[in-house]
Amino acid sequence: MVSKNKTAIILGGSKGIGKEIAKELKKINFKVLVCSRKEIDTSDLESTKKFIKKFKKADVLILNSGGPPPIKFKDLTIDNWKKYFNQLFLSFFLILQKLKINKNGYVFYISSSIIKEPGNSLIVSSSLRSAMSSLLKSFSIEKNLKKITVINIAPGPFKTKRVEELVTNFRKFENSLPLKKIGDPKEIGKFVKFIVENEIKYITGSTVYFDGNINKSFI
Ligand SMILES: NC(=O)c1ccc[n+]([C@@H]2O[C@H](COP(=O)([O-])OP(=O)(O)OC[C@H]3O[C@@H](n4cnc5c(N)ncnc54)[C@H](OP(=O)(O)O)[C@@H]3O)[C@@H](O)[C@H]2O)c1
């Protein structure tokens, strides 16, 4: 994609994975709108609606937001579900429905590798992200003829604030991983840049498991 005069909107772009994607797209001359919760809080539908009124189109859209805390099955409340349904599903749906992605554009969704193997801790995350992944697939089919490329990036553990919040003994955690090493979010930034810069299109509709071989399934 020739990136002169092209725009990218990066939700959750102020930290972690989103921030690295922003850095990489800037390197190829994208005009990048980096969003923190100040620009859009996806748990608040009014904030999402205001955002869509203000920003109407983009060439590259990164759907990303903060992750929910681990809550045990027995402790989950209706309010937990409502908040994160807005944050991780309904706001993304509204954005996909209303914000125009220019022809030949890209949508990347940052989900999680646990959509493939849900556990008993990050239940809100795995449930809502599985649903969002299904919605994204439908969206990708809808957009085939506009040549809009849609990719679901499903990360395993990457070294960001999110993991710092979830992990207590970092060394022990890294040792438990197949590569004995946590992921570097720069790699996701570089991956997104590579796809966009090289106009990789036939990958559309796919989920890319960026998980350091945590999931055992080969499909
Ligand atoms: N890191 C991992 O290992 C990993 C693995 C699997 C999945 N994920 C998921 O991937 C996403 C990005 O992860 P990360 O590690 O980069 O997270 P992070 O370092 O915590 O960054 C989260 C980003 O999302 C923004 N954000 C938080 N709550 C938001 C809200 N309600 N509305 C809109 N934006 C919000 C933050 O903005 P502020 O500056 O306002 O805080 C920040 O820019 C998360 O959903 C996470 O659960 C991460």
Task: Give 19 or 3, the one with higher predicted confidence.
Answer: 19
Q: Is the CB–ligand 1 distance for residue 149 below 6 Å?
A: no
Q: Is the CB–ligand 1 distance for residue 157 below 6 Å?
A: yes
Can you tell me the mean pLDDT for 197-204?
98
CA of 182, closest atom in ligand 1: 3
Distance between CA 200 and CA 211 in Å, rounded? 21
pLDDT at residue 164, rounded to an integer: 86
CA of 129, closest atom in ligand 1: 45
pLDDT tens column, 30-52: 999 999 999 999 999 999 999 99
pTM of the predicted model as reported, rounded to 2 decimal places: 0.97
Q: For atom 42 of ligand 1, which residue has the closest CA?
A: 12
pLDDT tens column, 51-107: 999 999 999 999 999 999 999 999 999 999 999 999 999 999 999 999 999 999 999
Q: Is the CB–ligand 1 distance for residue 165 below 6 Å?
A: no
Q: Ligand 1, residues 64, 188, 191: which to mutate, most atoms within 8 A of Cβ? A: 64
Q: For atom 6 of ligand 1, which residue has the closest CA?
A: 112
Q: Is the CB–ligand 1 distance for residue 16 below 6 Å?
A: yes
Percent of the chain with pLDDT over 70: 99
Give distance in angstroms: CA of 217 to centre of ligand 1: 26
Give distance in angstroms: CA of 178 to centre of ligand 1: 24
Residue 146: name the closest of 94, 190, 101, 90 by CA: 101
Class of the 7-210 domain? alpha beta
Can you tell me the mean pLDDT for 146-161?
96
Mean pLDDT score across all residues of the chain: 96
Q: Is the CB–ligand 1 distance for residue 67 below 6 Å?
A: yes
Can you tell me the mean pLDDT for 154-170?
92
Q: Is the CB–ligand 1 distance for residue 158 below 6 Å?
A: yes
